[in-house]
């Protein structure tokens, strides 16, 4: 199934966190927090400004992003747990050095 976000919405898949601490202790699933890092799977065209022009989004397809703990709306598409959120919920883009 294809999903196309509207306006300044985007579709994000959470990236898995490591289930071990730096010291090698295994963290059970019941105690782990949901990761706040994800990959952008789909991007809307952008939000319209006061004159009706579409302002393009800063986030693009494939970006690794950092978002707030309670950001977005959780949805299931084709059995995958995904998030739909606004561009303003994104705290930053993670770039390789």
Going from N- to C-terminal start, the domains of the chain cover: 9-94
Q: What is the CATH number of domain 9-94?
A: 2.30.33.40
Quick one: residue 52, left, alpha or beta (phi over 0 = left, psi -120 to 50 = alpha)?
Answer: left
pLDDT, tens digit (0-9, with 9 covering 90-100), for 1-49: 678 888 889 999 988 765 555 566 666 655 555 668 899 999 988 888 8
Mean pLDDT within 55-70: 89
Q: What is the pLDDT of residue 15?
A: 83
Q: What is the pLDDT of residue 1?
A: 66
Structure confidence at residue 69 as a pLDDT band (50, 70, 90): confident
How far apart are alpha carbons 27 and 5 in whole angstroms?
35
């Amino acid at each position: 199934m294809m999903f196309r976000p509207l306006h300044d919405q985007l579709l994000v898949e959470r990236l898995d966190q490591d289930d071990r601490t730096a010291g090698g202790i295994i963290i059970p699933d019941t105690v782990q927090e949901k990761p706040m890092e994800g990959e952008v799977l789909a991007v809307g065209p952008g939000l319209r400004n006061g004159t009706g022009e579409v302002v393009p989004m800063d986030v693009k397809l494939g970006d690794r992003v950092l978002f707030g703990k309670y950001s977005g709306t959780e949805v299931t598409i084709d059995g995958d747990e995904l998030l739909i959120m606004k561009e303003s919920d994104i705290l930053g883009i993670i770039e390789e050095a």
